[in-house]
Structure 1
Amino acid sequence: MLLFRGREAHSRSLLKAISWRVLGSIDTFLLSYLFTANVKAASAIASTEVLTKMLLYYLHERAWARVGWGLHKRKPPDGKIEKEGLVRDHG
């Protein structure tokens, strides 16, 4: 599937998603506790949003991996120019 090809390995995107969600979940828990003053409610809110936000982040990262806008062209030693996740032989 074209959406899931890019310069970054799936495992890297997944690890980034997990580490981001840990930080985001701590933030969500603290804010939820601040507004509710209830540890049980804050925990329920934080734990529910973990999976949905992690999935959305992963899909967002993989989609952006396919976008070539703002990326610099790279020319590896083999003479092939890589742009937007595609390799073309120009030599």
Structure 2
Amino acid sequence: MENKKRTWTKALTWQTLGLLVMTFVNYLYLGNLNQGIGLSLLLSGLGLLTYVVHERLWARVRWGMGNPSAPADSR
């Protein structure tokens, strides 16, 4: 299980990349850089929070993880 700092670091780097892409797409669609940035920041903030919640919930799910001490064919 990864620690919270790693989860947040992954989330922030992913959202930064997404923010840049969304800003470009929103600017092309809206034709206004300020509106494009504003919409992108809103969506990135929401995406960041939902990603972290999703990751932390999945970190509690053992399904599909396998048993490290079990033989490979029983997984």
Indicate the SS of the match to 2:67.
coil
- Structure 1 gaps of 5+ residues are 1-6, 76-91
- Bigger helix share: 2
Larger radius of gyration: 1
TM-score in terms of structure 1 length: 0.69
Q: Which runs of 5+ in 2 are unaligned?
A: 70-75
Question: Identity across aligned pairs (percent)?
Answer: 30
How many equivalent residue pairs? 69
Structure 1 distance, partners of 2:58, 2:8, is 14
* TM-score, normalised by the number of residues in structure 2: 0.82
1:8 equivalent to 2:32? Answer: no
Trace 1:2-81 onto structure 2 (pairs within 5 A): 7-75=1-69
Structure 1 consecutive aligned stretches of length 4 or more whose deviation exceeds 4 Å? none
Instruction: Measure, in 2, the Cα distance between the counterparts of 1:12 and 1:72.
Output: 22
- CA distance in 1: counterparts of 2:5 and 2:27, whole angstroms: 33
More strand by share: 1
